[in-house]
């Protein structure tokens, strides 16, 4: 008898670094998550108009649209989607909390911590 794989949650991954994105996607898929990856916040906004996600995992500092504008847009149009921030700087955790972000991880990220936040 075939077993059906239950997806834990759907995740939109926003990362301009293709190597990082590949590692994240593989890890999330291996752990039962549905994943869609994009490289820019502008691409993410387009995808969010078509699909529903439980989580967005994104780097705080990326070229283009600022994180505050993006987070405001997500909160207005997809309030059920939780945003998880990734950053290379420890000093932005307070800034992330001020934006309403519950989970903020500094790089290098322990995958088990990310998985726990998405679980």
Q: Give CA–CA dist 43/97, Å, rounded.
A: 24
pTM for the model: 0.89
pLDDT of residue 59: 86
Q: Are 33 and 11 in contact (CB under 8 A)?
A: yes
- In-domain check, residue 5: no
Give bridge partners of residue 13 from the DSSP assignment.
37, 57
Angle (deg, nearest 10), helices 67-77 and 41-48: 0
For 73-109, letters b (16+ CB in 10 Å) and e give ebeeebeebbbbbbbeeeebbebbeebebebbbeeeb
Task: Provide the number of structural domains found in the chain.
Answer: 1
pLDDT of residue 100: 85
Q: Which domain holds residue 18?
A: 10-118
pLDDT along the chain (119 residues), means of 10: 61 93 95 95 93 93 80 90 89 81 90 93
pLDDT of residue 107: 87
pLDDT of residue 60: 80
pLDDT of residue 2: 44
- In-domain check, residue 44: yes
* Residues near 72 by beta carbon (within 8 Å), at least 6 away in sequence: none
Q: What's the CATH code of the domain at 72?
A: 3.40.50.2300
- In-domain check, residue 1: no
């Amino acid at each position: 008898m075939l077993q059906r794989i239950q997806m834990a949650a759907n995740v939109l991954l926003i990362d301009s670094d293709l190597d990082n994105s590949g590692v994240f996607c593989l890890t999330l898929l291996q752990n039962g998550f549905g994943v869609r990856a994009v490289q820019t916040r502008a691409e993410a906004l387009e995808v969010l108009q078509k699909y529903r996600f439980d989580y967005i995992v994104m780097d705080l500092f990326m070229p283009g649209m600022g994180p505050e504008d993006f987070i405001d847009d997500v909160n207005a149009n997809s309030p059920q989607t939780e945003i998880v921030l990734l950053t290379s700087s420890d000093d932005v955790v307070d800034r992330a909390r001020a934006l309403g972000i519950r989970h903020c991880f500094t790089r290098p990220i322990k995958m088990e911590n990310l998985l726990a936040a998405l679980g």
